[in-house]
């Protein structure tokens, strides 16, 4: 049992959790508008620099596997604060990296510690009633996607007027401030499972095998988030081509445009609460597919890119909120492991697509990236329609969980 009842959480607490989600997830995305600057500063090719986000995504996947399951067996407050402190140290290593290989390893370690934004939604789901989980999840996802998108804006401008290392020193200072705020406000919870850590990790396969809802959600979001990363990794290189002649500061501005989609996250959370998450996730995947089609046809113009990024971020946000609403309606005693599988699959997809994007860009440039995005989001649409709810039920609980021991 928890030390807090499932009653409406204080609004200020949920707002703080959303803020921490945004600031902490931003660390994984500061580099994207700076890849050209980083490559030139360290004397590496565009292909090498473009692959750096892949190592961060791999690190996040490893961190999810190692640490997210602990939410089922330890005090969430202690786990969250410990991960933030470790993250501050990793950000310092990135800022101090003297060479490209050192930066590669530091980026991977930073990724391993960038899991606070994925611990917090599962934590919030423990302290709010089921009828509010979609809306609250939407608020936290708004923080996550605003952080992902505005990180590019901030780093693009800071890197343009100073240098890329300054971005990471500022990030470390912000995370220290977030740790202080959470130490002051975050209520503790008690674990819901008495499994040992080795048995906890071993049970991940059991949860994955017995919970089809988790399998569908993980596959969808791995494809969606992979396509999302493909756009943002290639955008800075595309804007630097002779067609546009623009730099990291302009690439960062696209984050502000995309943030409009992120701020719609609570709306989709309410849709998931009322119409069911499967309806909302189908809508989100379809919007993302439409976005890539728009960018493939009209991406040679800035207006086409703006329209595409709005649709893409809206679609990915809707999908993420709806998928999380589905999986958080499963058993409370497995919520940490469910979250682990979902985030692990999401970032494996992101890492694979990051590496593939660098390769595709080097051979077919923007047209190849658009083809890759259409393929990934098209598969996500197919997966969303392959999943079926029970015909005699509506809403989130129509997606029936299977028992896990």
404 lies in some domain: no
CATH code of the domain covering residue 315: 1.20.1250.20
2 lies in some domain: no
Domain count for the chain: 1
Listed residue (109, 113, 105) closest to 84, CA to CA: 113
Determine the pLDDT at residue 9: 60
Burial 171-183 (b: 16+ CB within 10 A, else e): bbebbeebbeebe
305 lies in some domain: yes
- Where in the sequence is the domain holding 303, given as residue range(s)? 11-187+196-398
Would you write out the chain's pLDDT as a tens digit for each of its 405 residues?
444 444 556 668 888 999 999 999 999 889 888 888 888 888 887 778 878 888 998 898 899 999 999 888 888 889 999 999 999 999 999 999 999 999 999 999 999 999 999 899 888 877 777 777 777 888 888 888 888 878 888 888 898 889 899 999 999 999 999 999 999 988 877 776 778 899 999 999 999 999 999 999 999 999 999 999 899 889 988 998 889 988 767 777 887 887 776 676 677 777 777 888 899 899 999 999 999 999 999 999 999 999 999 999 889 988 988 898 888 888 777 888 998 999 999 988 988 898 899 899 989 999 999 999 999 999 999 999 999 765 434 344 444 445 454
Determine the pLDDT at residue 380: 97
60 lies in some domain: yes
Determine the pLDDT at residue 392: 36
Determine the pLDDT at residue 404: 53
386, with CB counted inside 10 A (0-12, 13-18, 19+), is exposed
Please, what is the angle between helix 116-127 and helix 11-26, to 10°? 160
323 lies in some domain: yes
1 lies in some domain: no
pTM of the predicted protein model: 0.79
Determine the pLDDT at residue 40: 87
Rounded Cα–Cα distance for residues 86 and 262 (Å):
27
């Amino acid at each position: 049992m928890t030390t807090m009842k499932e009653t409406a959480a204080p609004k200020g607490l949920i707002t703080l959790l959303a803020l921490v989600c945004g600031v902490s997830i931003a660390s994984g995305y500061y580099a994207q508008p700076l890849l050209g600057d980083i490559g030139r500063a360290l004397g590496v090719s565009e292909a090498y620099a473009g692959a750096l986000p892949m190592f961060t995504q791999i690190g996040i996947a490893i961190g999810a596997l190692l640490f997210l399951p602990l939410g089922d067996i330890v005090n969430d407050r202690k786990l969250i604060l410990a991960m933030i402190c470790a993250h501050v140290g990793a950000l310092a290593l990135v800022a101090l990296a003297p060479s490209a290989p050192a930066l590669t390893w530091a980026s991977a370690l930073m990724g391993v510690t960038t899991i606070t934004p994925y611990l917090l939604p599962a934590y919030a789901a423990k302290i709010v009633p089921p009828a509010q989980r979609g809306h609250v999840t939407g608020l936290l996802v708004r923080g996550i996607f605003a952080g992902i998108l505005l990180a590019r804006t901030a780093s693009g401008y800071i890197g343009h007027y100073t240098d890329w290392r300054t971005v990471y020193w500022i990030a470390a200072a912000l995370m220290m401030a977030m740790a202080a705020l959470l130490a002051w406000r975050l209520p503790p919870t008690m674990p819901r499972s008495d499994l040992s850590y080795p048995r906890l990790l071993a049970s991940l396969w059991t949860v994955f095998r017995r919970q089809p809802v988790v399998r569908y959600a993980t596959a969808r979001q791995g494809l969606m988030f992979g396509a999302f990363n493909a756009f943002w990794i290639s955008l800075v290189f595309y804007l630097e081509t002779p067609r546009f002649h623009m730099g990291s500061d302009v690439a960062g501005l696209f984050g502000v445009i995309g943030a409009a989609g992120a701020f719609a996250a609570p709306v989709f959370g309410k849709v998931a609460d009322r119409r069911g998450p499967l309806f909302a996730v189908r809508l989100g995947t379809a919007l993302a597919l439409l976005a890539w089609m728009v960018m493939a046809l009209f991406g040679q113009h800035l207006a086409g890119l703006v329209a595409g990024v709005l649709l893409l971020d809206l679609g990915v946000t809707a999908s993420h909120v709806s998928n999380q609403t589905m999986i958080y309606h499963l058993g409370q005693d497995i919520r940490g492991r469910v979250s682990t599988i979902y985030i692990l699959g999401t970032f494996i997809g992101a890492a694979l697509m990051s590496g593939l994007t660098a390769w595709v860009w080097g051979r077919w440039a923007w047209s190849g990236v658009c083809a890759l995005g259409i393929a990934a989001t098209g598969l996500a649409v197919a997966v969303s329609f392959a999943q079926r709810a029970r015909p005699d039920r509506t809403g989130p609980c129509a997606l029936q969980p299977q028992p896990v021991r």
